[in-house]
């Protein structure tokens, strides 16, 4: 299994963590992150903010979100074009607990394949619909509602091609798109606990553009309503 670390050259705060990931992850390489703001300014990306799929996403895409999405698509393309059945994609603020991480790698080795997408989230917020397997403390399961964030995931060669075909036009952030199994038709599994953590704050904060302070309550209400609509469409085992 190859590992793909999404990282923007020149980010000195995250460079030491990238060096650790290169040493710790299997067959790891750095994938240059996409500058979403530059791509949007140049008109080199097709976006259709929030209304391409149902439920409609209530917020416009930011440059940082576009860059994050395109960076993951870049990794999907590498996996789809490569010789391996699957690959591990991680963001450059990811860290692992080395003890439980070995259990996670064992689960991946025994259950991942070309059609797989397996999330390794930093937050334990997903409820199992069906438990598939366990190794040590780690469990592989089908979550009812797919969680947010994309710090680490295993993506199969066939799955990568499927996701690429479904994302030629972007209308929402990559993690919210991945929740929409009814759109991309990709079953998504999760491993928890997994020893993965997200060291964003320690590494200088998020690289995705923050939202303005004004209208915070209105945004939270819109977010709550959107998530309620997503929850009405669970994955079923």
Per-residue pLDDT of 153-167, as tens digits, reads: 999 999 999 999 999
pLDDT at position 225, please? 97
Q: Is residue 96 part of a domain?
A: yes
Q: Is residue 94 part of a domain?
A: yes
Using alpha carbons only, give the angle 28, 152, 32 rounded to the nearest 5 degrees.
50
Domain with 58, as residue range(s), is 2-231
How far, in whole angstroms, is CA 142 from its chain's centroid?
16
Q: What is the pLDDT of residues 102-140, one digit of tens each?
A: 999 999 999 999 999 999 999 999 999 999 999 999 999
Q: Is residue 236 part of a domain?
A: no
Number of domains forming the structure of the chain? 1
Q: Which residues pair with 140 in a beta bridge?
A: 133, 191
H-assigned helices in 116-232: 157-166, 174-178, 181-184, 216-231
Q: Is residue 23 part of a domain?
A: yes
Concatenated DSSP letters for 158-177?
HHHHHHHHHTSSB-S-HHHH
The CATH number of the domain holding residue 119 is 3.90.550
pLDDT at position 49, please? 82
Distance of alpha carbon 58 from alpha carbon 60, whole angstroms: 7
Q: Is residue 237 part of a domain?
A: no
pLDDT tens sequence for the chain (237 residues): 999 999 999 999 999 999 999 999 999 999 999 999 999 999 899 898 889 999 999 999 999 999 999 999 999 999 999 999 999 999 999 999 999 999 999 999 999 999 999 999 999 999 999 999 999 999 999 999 999 999 999 999 999 999 999 999 999 999 999 999 999 999 999 999 999 999 876 666 666 555 555 688 999 999 999 999 999 999 987
- Output the CA–CA distances (angstroms, integers) from residue 96 to 20, 24, 29, in the order listed: 10, 9, 17
């Amino acid at each position: 299994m190859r590992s793909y670390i999404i990282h923007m050259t020149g980010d000195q705060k995250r460079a030491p963590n990238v060096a650790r990931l290169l040493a710790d992850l299997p067959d790891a390489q750095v994938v240059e992150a996409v500058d979403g703001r530059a791509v949007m300014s140049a008109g080199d990306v097709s976006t259709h903010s929030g209304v391409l799929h149902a439920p409609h996403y209530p917020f416009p895409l930011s440059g940082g979100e576009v860059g994050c999405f395109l960076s993951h698509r870049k990794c999907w393309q590498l996996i789809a074009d490569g010789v391996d059945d699957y690959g591990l994609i991680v963001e450059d603020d990811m860290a692992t607990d080395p003890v439980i991480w070995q259990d996670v790698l064992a689960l991946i080795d025994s259950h991942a394949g070309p059609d797989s997408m397996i999330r390794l989230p930093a937050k334990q917020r997903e409820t199992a619909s069906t438990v598939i397997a366990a190794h040590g403390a780690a469990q592989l399961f089908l979550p009812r509602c797919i969680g947010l964030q994309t710090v680490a995931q295993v993506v199969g060669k066939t799955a990568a091609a499927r996701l690429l075909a479904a994302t030629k036009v972007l209308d929402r952030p990559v993690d919210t798109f991945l929740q929409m199994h009814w759109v991309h038709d990709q079953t998504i599994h999760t491993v928890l606990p997994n020893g993965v953590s997200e060291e964003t704050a320690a590494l200088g904060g998020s690289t995705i553009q923050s939202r303005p302070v004004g209208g915070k309550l209105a945004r939270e209400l819109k977010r709550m309503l959107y998530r309620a609509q997503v929850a009405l469409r669970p994955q079923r085992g």
